[in-house]
Amino acid sequence: MELDFGYWVFSALMGGIVAVILVLKRANEWYHICTVAGRQCSLPPGDMGWPLIGNMWSFLIAFKFGHPDSFISNFIARFGRTGIYKAYLFGCPTIIVTAPETCRPVLMDDAQFKPGWPKSTSILMGRKSFLGLSAEEHKRLRRLTAALISGLKALSVYHEFMKDVILSSLDELAKADRPVEFLTEIRKITFKIIMYVFLSCEGGPIIETMEEEYAKLNYGLRSMAINLPGFAYHKALKARKNLVKILQGVIDGRRATNLSEEKTDMMDLLLDVEDENGEKLDDEEIIDVILMYLNAGHESTAHATLWATLFLREHPEHLQRAKAEQEEILRTSSATEKGLSIKETKQMEYLSKEGKPKRGAFIPFGTGSRLCPGSDLAKLELSTFLHYFLLHYELERLNPRSAVRYLPHTRPKDNCLAKVKKLPSPSST
């Protein structure tokens, strides 16, 4: 009798908890739907989650501790492959667009669709970065800065250093003859390159300090905006202040000396560039642009390089075709050219594909006015790395069963543990 009574009490308790959960979630959804009820618009399917926190717990768990695709896969499984869903993320109602056919019109139509970055992300990246600007301000800043890191003339200034960093870094990894956290090592390579592009820094304490502070900033970009000691967002705010202080010191030093007539890096060019009215960028604009490009040009490129390398290693048929293409480039290269030239990276037709998507179905750098301004630099880094890696190195992956997480929060324990081996030098004849 007591057992039966306990069973009914437990069942009633669990039933009550489930009922409360359902009521709270439904009430949260009703509330937010009512806020747009008078706007003559229909909302896509989705789940608004819990009051106040919305879907953030499941989002963070998926991206930090599980498989990042699982967050969207859950929406697809529940609501179908619609390509657009409603949710509640980073403190506000959100529409998630997930498929190329729905992303493209959003990116192309600035009149109908406005950027919706979380407030915490906009604060960390800066109020004068691309994230928080109006359409007109965005066009102005993009026009003034994008040309500095795109096109043959601009990129040729940085390519020799890029090649040296990639080759010397890979050599060091091969000589170490030990397993390494591969993503961590690629991050170091891309960070060295981007620091040279921005500040002409080739090494030293400033790179180490900025890399450490940037890592803290990056961890907080997509975290819960809790500004209390111990939380990622609080650490990120402090890291931003330190980075701003460092960059302001560089700006002050450049303005004080003003010795170099030849503009050698992005900082020089940003200090010198003028718009059509003869107005120059102020210090805040320069700092926010540098931090924004640092995020895009460092993290994204490192992850793309990691995944391209792993994909080729795990698909021998593609590896052989890609390697054959690089060997042909090496065979036909000019004897007067030292290493890979930018022109030769344009000949990598097979390497630049990894498939034949339909027109408009593959937009890794975005499109429209929001097209990534650093796409040329990212492609050059990736092509140069893969050229030398395919010709001279191979990757022995030591933990093939562990998932490599594609996210900017990846910590060393999430890295692909691998060993880099040097191959016999291929013949250029």
pLDDT along the chain (429 residues), means of 10: 58 68 68 64 82 83 77 91 89 85 84 79 85 76 78 85 94 88 90 90 85 90 86 94 94 79 77 83 90 81 90 91 93 76 89 72 78 86 94 79 40 64 69
Q: 71 and 196 in one domain?
A: no
Last residue of a domain, one of 98, 115, 150: 98
The whole-angstrom separation of Cα 217 and Cα 212 is 9
- Which residue range(s) make up the domain with 396? 135-422
What ranges in 337-374 are assigned the alpha helix state H? 342-345
Nearest to 270 by CA among 387, 145, 403, 378: 145
Same domain, 213 and 341: yes
The domain boundary, picked from 70, 98, 126, lies at 98
pLDDT at 260: 56
Q: Hey, what are 254's tokens?
A: 């450049």
Check whether residue 257 and residue 374 sit in a common domain.
Answer: yes
3-state secondary structure of 246: helix
Same domain, 80 and 166: no
Does residue 46 form part of some domain? yes
Residue 127 lies in a domain: no
Shared domain for 228 and 282, answered yes or no, is yes
Q: What is the pTM of this model?
A: 0.82
Same domain, 194 and 335: yes
Q: What does the alpha-carbon distance between residue 128 and residue 280 come to, in Å, rounded to a whole number? A: 14
* Residue 147 C-beta-side C-alpha neighbours within 13 Å: 10
Same domain, 147 and 44: no
What pLDDT does residue 414 have? 46
CA distance 110 to 369: 8
In-domain check, residue 179: yes
CA distances from 161 to 133, 175, 190 (A): 33, 21, 12
Asked if 166 and 289 sit in the same domain, the reply is: yes
Task: Report the number of distinct structural domains present in the chain.
Answer: 2
Residue 365 lies in a domain: yes
Q: Phi/psi at 280 (nearest 5 deg)?
A: -100, 165
How is 327-343 classified by DSSP, letter by letter? HHHHHHS-TTS-S--HH
Residue 363 amino acid letter: I
Question: Do the domain assignments include residue 427?
Answer: no
Contact 199, 289 (CB under 8 A): no
Same-domain status, 304 and 249: yes
Three-state secondary-structure class, residue 231: coil
Q: Which is nearest to 194 in space by CA: 291, 275, 50, 335?
A: 291
Q: Which helix (H) or strand (E) holds 271?
A: helix 266-272
Indicate whether 256 and 146 sit together in one domain: yes
Show the tokens assigned to 114.
Answer: 């406005």
The DSSP bridge partners found for residue 280 are 274
Q: Could you tell me if 210 and 297 lie in one domain?
A: yes
* pLDDT at 151 (0 to 100): 79
- Shared domain for 239 and 286, answered yes or no, is yes
